[in-house]
Amino acid sequence: MASEKPTMILMSKSDMSKEQIEALSDSDAWKIIYSMRSRKAQDHRLQVCFTGFSASRKNELSAIAESHNFKAVSSVTKNLDFLCGGENAGPKKTEKAELQGVQFLNEAQFLNLAETGELPNGGNWYQHSTSSLTMCSSPSRFHSRSSGSAEHGVMRQKPASKNRP
């Protein structure tokens, strides 16, 4: 027989009768309760963060991103796929993005990606130095982070290894 707490929860949150609940063990009652929890839907869209743009341009780019099935985010997180930098891109976001293996795009590269689904030639990775952003070539090894679905012909991708040559 289920104890008092899971019994009260099941009585209020399920369509089960009191007799059905009483027939459950405590373990079975908790399993039912946890299975009833609504789970947040996974969002497998490619994530892009815009930095170094005016507020109005950032809003325009975010709208373009959303209309092309990207998820525009405001910070660099472990799920970020692309950091799109403008003329005033600051060092903190670019450094954090580089450490996480995020691909850096300029505005033209992002717009091309949104329109065509094509990554820039071979991918461009940027390294931050104290004086400027310098471009270096990207490893071509990628693996899919999504459940295998392609959006705009681009898989959600991360480098296979964060230790780039």
Which of 77-86, 102-111, 142-151, 152-161 is predicted least confidently? 142-151
Rounded distance, CA 1 to CA 21, Å? 8
Q: Between these two residues, 74 and 151, which has the higher pLDDT value?
A: 74
Q: Is-above-0.85 flag for pTM?
A: no
- Using CB atoms within 10 A of its CB, is residue 83 exposed (0-12), middle (13-18) or buried (19+)? buried
| Confidence at residue 35, expressed as pLDDT on a 0 to 100 scale | 85
Q: Say whether 98 sits in a helix, a strand or coil.
A: helix
What domains can be seen in the chain, in order of their start residue? 4-36 (no CATH), 46-159 (3.40.50.10190)
Contacting residues for 66 by C-beta, under 8 A, at least 6 apart? 72
pLDDT tens-digit map of 120-152:
865 433 333 223 333 333 332 232 333 333 333
Bin 27: left if φ > 0, else alpha if -120 < ψ < 50, else beta.
alpha
163 vs 95, which has greater pLDDT? 95
The reported pLDDT for the residue numbered 134 is 35
What's the pLDDT tens digit per position in 22-73?
899 999 999 888 888 766 667 889 999 999 999 999 999 999 999 999 999 9
